[in-house]
Chain A
Amino acid sequence: MLEVKIKKTFPGFKLTVAFAINQEILSLVGPSGSGKSLTLQCISGLMNPDEGYLQVNGKVLLDTAAGINVPPQKRKVGYVFQNYALFPHLTVFENIAFGLAAWERRKVVARVAYLLEKMRLSDYKDRYPHQLSGGQQQRVALARALAPEPEILLLDEPFSALDTQVRGELEREILALHQFYRGHIIFVSHNLDEAYRLGSQIAVYEAGQILQLGYKKKLINAPANQTVAKLTGTRNLVEGIIRNINGAKAEVMVPAWQEKLQVNMLHPEKYYPNQKVIIGIRPEYIRISNCFPESVSRPNGPGNRSIQAIHESPAQLLAAQVVEAVDGVTSYTYRLRLKNGSAQEFHLEADVSKLTAPWIPAGKTCYLHLPSERVFLITP
């Protein structure tokens, strides 16, 4: 169990966070300058919070009220810095062994050899950091932090300086860590995908506060408020009014679109008819077609692709015009104006896989399907 409570004030910035985790990976996400790295510094003891409480596996490391402040040297915290911060004058072996100064020589050799093998660095043990690639340097940093068997492992944007391929490899490395390292891991990232893949829980930071903390699936599917929804990648958020409720299904009127939507509610107890709500859908979950689907009695022209799922709920089909179309590597990004919608530049953004969606140039008409199980509600 790791319990963290921190308050730290700077001119123009205030960090106030509290959370607890249990031998799992907690991902901290949020814009830069929101206090993620500062949280790690306070946990490691490199920075002293104004007020705080920190407890790991029953040992109190910091309790400002009781005047306890264990120095960073004695906290047993492994810290992997963004730019590695390896000791440039020491070899890979010496870097990893740095934290084992008090150990018996025989044990040091065994421990370092074990980590070298785990991190696939055995061939590089006599090299200096500047003779290694970025990914290798990061693995040394990880091995060095793990060597003294820390109870907490802090990873501060460990992939930010690496290219995409190496990133993926290191990500797997960190996931595999859990098989031989039984400790609490806190991982800072500004990449949501990365944070989601690695963490079991996610904390969304903004301006020195945790807006929402929770298990990742729940957090992504049911963001607590609009800011969390935006920070976790839901670019489509619009005001609506609940018209009808039928079990877990709600019919929501969206005035700006002049359309009604079916929504599956995760928490039906929170909603009632005529309630004002915000509805959200991630751009990746919108389906798009360049013709009206067959089942709703329009002919399917050559080269046209319709939306299969429409059969289930034809009411969810919205007519729209493409305002902007961007061709990506594996997906198309569209900005869309609904036919009956208010006078806005665009109403929705869609990121659709090339596997399922056609290319529709700007100006053309299309039909959108918002799957009712992918649309979520937020109380404003």
Chain B
Amino acid sequence: MPEMDLVPVWISLKTAALSTVITFFLGCAAARWLAGYQGKAKSLLDGLFTLPLVLPPTVLGFGLLLLFGKNGPLGKLLLKLGTTVIFSWWATVIAAVVVAFPLMYRTARGAFEQIEPNIENAARTLGASEWDIFWRVTLPLAWPGIMAGIILSFARSLGEFGATLMIAGNIPGRTQTIPLAIYFAVAAGDNDRALAWVAIIMLISMLSILALNYWQRYGKNYANH
């Protein structure tokens, strides 16, 4: 057993947790907005929101690099504010959000679409604001689906490698997550260390999947009643 510096575990978990929170809000908002949007660009927008799921992460990483780099539109803006995200811990979060977003968006959309529209309409005639309806009706009813989205997003964020490497680099103690640590351990010929990391990430991922199964089996599924 090699002597392990467990910092990558902490960075990975921190990144995946924050990314999941951000993805939850972005994914739900996008799903909710697109469900109500009746314009012509609907399927185009749906495609755009799903694209990160099918594109190679290196393409996403390169795109983010162009966006957040010194000459990119967002990079320039951040530079004016006196900061930069490239090669910082925030870059690992941004990469994780982009790759996890489609999973959250799609599961949330599926869950929202299963809700009978008249249930929300009833809430409207009973005086509930749109915000109230979302928190008191839509979210509780969509919860099993949303929960699945949250766990999938967490797992995907945890496993993110390609885009992270391109915009966050491999800075031990700052941006080195478990997948990066595995790659560089293998590259350095330290298979024992790589195997130890593999064991750890498999453990965390398995726990996530078990949690998901548990939720889907025992969580209350109101949408079917």
Contact = CB atoms under 8 A, between A and B. Distances in A.
Interface of A: 44-46, 71-75, 77-79, 81, 83, 85-89, 98-99, 101-102, 128-130, 144-145, 147-148
5 contacts: A78-B125, A85-B122, A87-B137, A88-B222, A98-B136
B220 A98 contact: no
B129 interface: yes
Interface string B106-141: 000000000010110111111111001000110011
Contacts of B124: 45-46, 71-73
B97 to A, nearest CB: 29
B127 A83 contact: no
B118 A98 contact: no
Nearest to B143: A89
Contacts of A98: 123, 126, 128, 136
B217 interface: no
A69 to B, nearest CB: 14
B128 A87 contact: no
Contacts of A75: 125
A85 B128 contact: no
A148 B126 contact: yes
Contact of B121 (A46, A99, A101): A46
A150 to B, nearest CB: 8
B132 A101 contact: yes
A147 B132 CA distance: 18
Most B CB within 10 A of own CB, among A72, A74, A145, A148:
A72
B216 to A, nearest CB: 17
A99 B127 contact: yes
A89 B127 contact: no
Given A45-B125, A88-B223, 19 more contacts: A44-B125, A46-B124, A73-B124, A73-B129, A74-B127, A75-B125, A79-B121, A81-B118, A81-B121, A81-B122, A85-B119, A86-B122, A87-B123, A98-B136, A99-B126, A101-B127, A102-B127, A144-B126, A145-B126
Interface string B191-225: 00000000000000000000000000000101101
B129 to A, nearest CB: 6
Contacts of B136: 98
A40 to B, nearest CB: 10
B127 A73 contact: yes
A278 to B, nearest CB: 41
A158 to B, nearest CB: 13
A72 to B, nearest CB: 4
Nearest to A85: B118
Nearest to B116: A85
A77 B127 contact: no
Top 4 A-B residue pairs of the complex, sorted by shortest distance between their CB atoms: A99-B126, A85-B118, A130-B225, A88-B222
Contacts of B225: 88, 128-130
A89 B140 contact: yes
A186 to B, nearest CB: 13
B222 A148 contact: no
A346 B225 CA distance: 49
A28 B127 CA distance: 25
Contacts of B129: 73
Contacts of A87: 119, 122-123, 137
A78 B125 CA distance: 7
A200 to B, nearest CB: 24
B127 to A, nearest CB: 5
A81 B119 CA distance: 9
Nearest to B129: A73
A130 to B, nearest CB: 4
A29 B18 CA distance: 56
A175 B132 CA distance: 33
A298 B151 CA distance: 90
- The listed residue with most A CB atoms (<10 A of its CB), out of B122, B123, B127, B220, is B122
Nearest to B140: A89
Contact of A79 (B122, B137, B140): B122
A233 B204 CA distance: 69
B149 to A, nearest CB: 18
Of the listed residues A75, A99, A148, the one surrounded by the most CB atoms of chain B closer than 10 A to its CB is A99
Nearest to B120: A85
B7 to A, nearest CB: 42
B122 A148 contact: no
A178 to B, nearest CB: 21
Contacts of A147: 126
Contacts of A148: 126-127
A148 B123 CA distance: 12
A77 B125 contact: yes
A166 to B, nearest CB: 19
